[in-house]
Amino acid sequence: MGTPEFPDLGKHCSVGDCNQIDFLPFTCDRCDHVFCLHHRSYTSHQCPNANMKDVTVLICPLCAKGVRLNPSEDPNITWDTHVNTDCDPSNYQKVTKKKKCPVPGCRETLTFSNTIRCKDCTKEHCLKHRFGPDHKCPGPRKVDSGFPFVSMLRRSQKAETRSNSSNNNGSSWWSSSLVNAATNFKSSAEAGMQKLSTVTSQAFQKAKDGMSPNSSSSSGDLVEQCVHCPARFSTVGALIEHVEKSHQMNSQPSHGRVTIDVCPKCSKGFRDPVLLVEHVEREHGGTSRV
């Protein structure tokens, strides 16, 4: 086989039925056997190691990750190893449900390099629809004023536009809503004024009767003190009755001397105790306690 100049030229095909000598033989990279031109492929010479360098990837239905099958290993064992060690079901949503451009008719998948967030509507769009007119941007949101009926007016205008109703119906609805709100406000204000008037009249009546607003009639506190003796009384009427009965004779002038009764609060003098009591009721709220 060969020539004297090229003694190693040509080899026989490894297929037993062929055994043809080929001067340009092919060596299989899987089984390292020599074959002729007709039997050079894996299927023609039935190579036993044909799948040793094949790359077969199985997509996991739980985590959507690719699992490479080892030709020398049972696929069931490879699958069990992946499920017990590397499988993460939370990754399925990230892989399968990718964010797309929200513009109707656009199916562009948003990635890190082609995503633009609009400053006005704060939505993410692709590069093709990054400008406001392209994705029909409504513009920046306007800040509502402090007037309480502005939001209600705007909602009524939107409802009117959507339903295509007449201007008369919309204006009448807004007018009725405004009248109802004003009526409720007026009712609450009248109730508050009535309550304030009741509390004020009660406090004034207690002050007129010679009692402090914080004290009750059933407490029995003796707040009125007689200026002639240490006796105390709960009301001004009882004090006047005591002065008229006990100190009326003492208030008369004797031997040319005049008795002066002094107000314990403002030190103003009075010849008649009745005038002193009236002064205390009028100027000091009905109490003579210092």
Structure tokens at 59: 């997509």
Q: Please, what are the domains in the chain?
A: 1-53 (4.10.1110.10), 55-97 (no CATH), 98-140 (no CATH)
- What per-residue confidence (pLDDT) applies to 142? 66
For 233, phi then psi, to 5°, come to -140, 155
147 vs 184, more confident? 184
Q: What angle in degrees, to the nearest 10, is found between the helix axes of 236-246 and 273-283? A: 170
- What per-residue confidence (pLDDT) applies to 64? 86
Other beta carbons within 10 Å of 45: 21
Residues 226 and 233: beta-carbon distance below 8 Å: yes
**221-to-138, 211, 214, 216 alpha-carbon distances in Å:** 73, 9, 12, 9
> Residue 187 — pLDDT band, cuts 50, 70, 90?
confident
- What per-residue confidence (pLDDT) applies to 156? 64
Q: How far apart are the C-alpha atoms of 84 and 281, rounded to whole Å?
A: 95
Average pLDDT over residues 166-179: 60
Q: How far apart are the C-alpha atoms of 64 and 95, rounded to whole Å?
A: 7
Of the CA atoms within 13 Å of residue 7, those in its CB half-sphere come to 1
Average pLDDT, the chain: 75
- What per-residue confidence (pLDDT) applies to 159? 62
Q: How far apart are the C-alpha atoms of 247 and 214, rounded to whole Å?
A: 31
Q: How far apart are the C-alpha atoms of 156 and 141, rounded to whole Å?
A: 18
Q: What is the percent of the chain with per-residue pLDDT over 70, rounded to a whole number?
A: 72
Q: Which helix (H) or strand (E) holds 27?
A: strand 26-27
pLDDT tens-digit readout, 148-158: 555 666 666 66
- What per-residue confidence (pLDDT) applies to 126? 92
First vs last C-alpha separation in the chain: 144
Q: How far apart are the C-alpha atoms of 20 and 12, rounded to whole Å?
A: 5
Average pLDDT over residues 71-96: 86
pLDDT tens-digit readout, 215-269: 444 444 556 777 777 777 777 778 788 877 777 655 554 444 567 777 877 877 7
Average pLDDT over residues 75-85: 90
Answer whether residue 119 shows pLDDT above 80: yes
Q: What is the DSSP letter of 141?
A: P
- What per-residue confidence (pLDDT) applies to 219? 41
Q: How far apart are the C-alpha atoms of 229 and 227, rounded to whole Å?
A: 6
> Residue 74 — pLDDT band, cuts 50, 70, 90?
confident
For 109, phi then psi, to 5°, come to -80, 130
Structure tokens at 186: 């007026």
For 100, phi then psi, to 5°, come to -120, 165
**76-to-7, 96, 101, 143, 236 alpha-carbon distances in Å:** 51, 25, 40, 62, 106
